[in-house]
Amino acid sequence: MTHKDFRKRYLCLQQTNRAMNTKILIIGACGQIGTELTKKLRNIYGVENVIASDIRKLNNDVVNEGIFEVVNALDFNQIEHLVEQYQVTDVYLMAALLSATAEKNPAFAWDLNMNSLFHVLNLAKAKKIKKIFWPSSIAVFGPTTPRHNTPQYTIMEPSTVYGISKQSGERWCEYYHNIYGVDVRSIRYPGLISWSTEPGGGTTDYAVDIYHKALENGTYECFLSEETALPMMYMDDAIRATIEIMQAPAENIHVRSSYNLGGVSFTPKEIAQEIKKHIPSFTITYKPDFRQKIADSWPASIDDTVAQKDWNWKHEFDLAAMTVDMIEHLK
Ligand SMILES: NC(=O)c1ccc[n+]([C@@H]2O[C@H](COP(=O)([O-])OP(=O)(O)OC[C@H]3O[C@@H](n4cnc5c(N)ncnc54)[C@H](O)[C@@H]3O)[C@@H](O)[C@H]2O)c1
């Protein structure tokens, strides 16, 4: 589907959704994905139908351009109160501790990533909300997973606390769907690249930082080695995928753990070469740190044919298009 078709569908759905009284709560709305998602959901569903929330109240569009509430995703009562107050139907749970940060505080990462999910799943089980979006990650895979073109169903032995929490989350989502009929939908996001928001402490953060440093200093020191291929996706594609999976008919969603989502796959060397096409003097050096070990345990590329078949997923941005857009916006 082209951007134009997608926009047309948005406008059409906007009317229908308002009529259907969709009320959305985004938890973790001030993060890298939440910021973009909030903007898009407000466009589609109307500012009055989207409640953004986060534990941090920043001075940004998420807070200033619509309804915003401070909430702690670990506090069931707070979430339940918001759900009742605004008659929320759909929850997008974006609050989590990401891969690199989670390794520094494993117990807290487990607590936040798991219990926030249980709170939302239990609200759906109690029929207080209708639909949940919960993001998983390529971190669910591990060193024993086939690295190239990683299939939807394969060996999953994650070796990071983040990956363990995401894989457990996937199992619980599927369980709540099978046993309690909860309509929960999920995507295994690859590393996400965006120009408007800072990444939140993941292993793929270098692929955002490199553009900033290329424009600021003309040079970048990368914390991964030059040949480390990882699956990545431009934020526009990721937001579109999130909204498309939530808008797909329930009967099309056959995977209730989480869908593989492919975008592009590249190494630090390849992204540097692409940047050089726009900034010929750009240089890169490599100084791998603890994140190299995390990256080495993840797939290099992802097979997302199941998402393509079930809800017509198709990514649009490749490395070249992403680089043009990033540089244009950051300039
Ligand atoms: N960004 C990526 O590349 C990527 C890749 C795979 C999966 N994901 C997943 O997508 C989701 C969102 O990721 P992101 O990159 O936007 O993360 P982020 O760290 O940028 O944002 C998370 C947001 O959650 C908020 N938060 C943290 N603790 C909270 C709490 N107790 N209560 C309420 N809010 C709280 C933070 O303040 C922050 O604004 C996460 O589940 C993450 O695991 C992200």
Q: What is the pLDDT of residue 11?
A: 56
Exposed/middle/buried for residue 12 (C-beta within 10 Å: 0-12, 13-18, 19+): exposed
pLDDT digits (tens, 9 = 90+) for 112-170: 999 999 999 999 999 999 999 999 999 999 999 999 999 999 999 999 999 999 999 99
Angle between helices 3-19 and 32-45 (to 10 degrees): 70
Residue 309 lies in a domain: no
Separation of CA 199 and ligand 1 centre (Å): 9
Task: Give the domain range for residue 89.
Answer: 3-191+236-247
Separation of CA 280 and ligand 1 centre (Å): 34
CATH number, position 95 = 3.40.50.720
pLDDT digits (tens, 9 = 90+) for 161-207: 999 999 999 999 999 999 999 999 999 999 999 998 878 889 999 99
Q: What is the pLDDT of residue 199?
A: 83
CA distances to 11, 49, 57, 85 from 7, in Å: 6, 19, 30, 31
Residue 157 lies in a domain: yes
pLDDT digits (tens, 9 = 90+) for 65-116: 999 999 999 999 999 999 999 999 999 999 999 989 999 999 999 999 999 9
Residue 20 lies in a domain: yes
Residue 172 lies in a domain: yes
Q: What is the pLDDT of residue 198?
A: 79
Q: What is the pLDDT of residue 19?
A: 44
pLDDT band at 14; cut points 50, 70, 90: low
Q: Residue 11, Cβ neighbours under 10 Å: how many?
A: 11
Residue 112 lies in a domain: yes
Residue 13 has pLDDT above 60, yes or no: no
Q: How many domains does the chain have?
A: 1
| Sheet containing 191-193: order of strands | 191-193, 230-234, 264-266
Q: Tokens standing for 89?
A: 């139907």
Query: What is the bridge-based pairing of β-strands 230-234 and 264-266?
Result: antiparallel
Residue 299 has pLDDT above 80, yes or no: yes
Mean pLDDT of the 287-291 span: 96
pLDDT digits (tens, 9 = 90+) for 22-67: 999 999 999 999 999 999 999 999 999 999 999 999 999 999 999 9
Bridge partners for 233 per DSSP: 192
Spatial separation of the C-alpha atoms in residues 27 and 75, rounded to whole Å: 12
Give percent of the chain above pLDDT 70. Answer: 94
* 201 CA: nearest ligand 1 atom: 19
Mean pLDDT of the 316-328 span: 96
Mean pLDDT over the full length of the chain: 94
Q: What is the pLDDT of residue 5?
A: 64
Q: What is the pLDDT of residue 10?
A: 55
- Name all residues whose Cβ lies below 6 A of ligand 1: 27-28, 30-34, 54-56, 71-74, 94-96, 98, 112, 135, 137, 189, 191-192, 199-200, 202, 204
DSSP 302: B
Own/partner contacts of 65-74, CB < 8 Å, gap of 24 or more, are 66/38, 66/42, 68/29, 71/27, 73/27, 73/28, 73/112, 73/116, 73/119, 74/111, 74/112, 74/115, 74/116, 74/119
Q: Tokens standing for 68?
A: 């915003």
Residue 257 lies in a domain: no
* 72 CA: nearest ligand 1 atom: 32
Spatial separation of the C-alpha atoms in residues 327 and 321, rounded to whole Å: 10
Q: What is the pLDDT of residue 164?
A: 97
Q: What is the pLDDT of residue 15?
A: 53
Separation of CA 83 and ligand 1 centre (Å): 20
pTM over 0.85: yes
Residue 1 has pLDDT above 70, yes or no: no
Ligand 1 binding pocket mutation candidate from 39, 55, 58 (most atoms within 8 A of CB): 55
Give percent of the chain above pLDDT 90. Answer: 90
Q: What is the pLDDT of residue 233?
A: 96
Separation of CA 96 and ligand 1 centre (Å): 4
Please list the active-site residues: 162
Express the helix, strand and coil content of the chain in percent, nearest 5 each.
50, 15, 35
Is residue 34 within 8 A of residue 94, CB to CB? The reply is: yes
Residue 276 lies in a domain: no
Residue 34 lies in a domain: yes
Residue closest by Cα to atom 39 of ligand 1: 31
